[in-house]
Amino acid sequence: MPAHHPESDQITVAIRSDDVGVVDFADPVKNPIAVALRRQRGFADARVSEREVPIRRGKLWYRYDAPKLVE
């Protein structure tokens, strides 16, 4: 099994209209990006804040930079 290097990962996620239904950008769990990430295969849990995006894969948490806004 190859080593996992999260710092080199780039994650693209699609947000659906129902993800936005419970929007609370102040709550890292209810952020629509976190909701969409948890729906993806291999992601056990996810949170999104202004500074970081911690994602749990299995029993380990990986920390990513905050998402960039798309205009």
Grade residue 48 by pLDDT with cuts at 50, 70 and 90.
very high
Q: In the predicted model, what is the mean pLDDT of residues 32-50?
A: 91
- Helices (H), strands (E): how many in the chain? 1, 3
Where is pLDDT greater, at 20 or 62? 62
pTM assigned to the model = 0.74
Taking the alpha carbons at both ends of the chain, their separation in whole angstroms is 38
Q: In the predicted model, what is the mean pLDDT of residues 15-42?
A: 86
Give the span between the Cα atoms of 27 and 19, in whole angstroms.
Answer: 14
Q: E-strand spans in 1-71?
A: 45-46, 52-57, 60-65
The share of the chain scoring above pLDDT 90, in percent, equals: 32
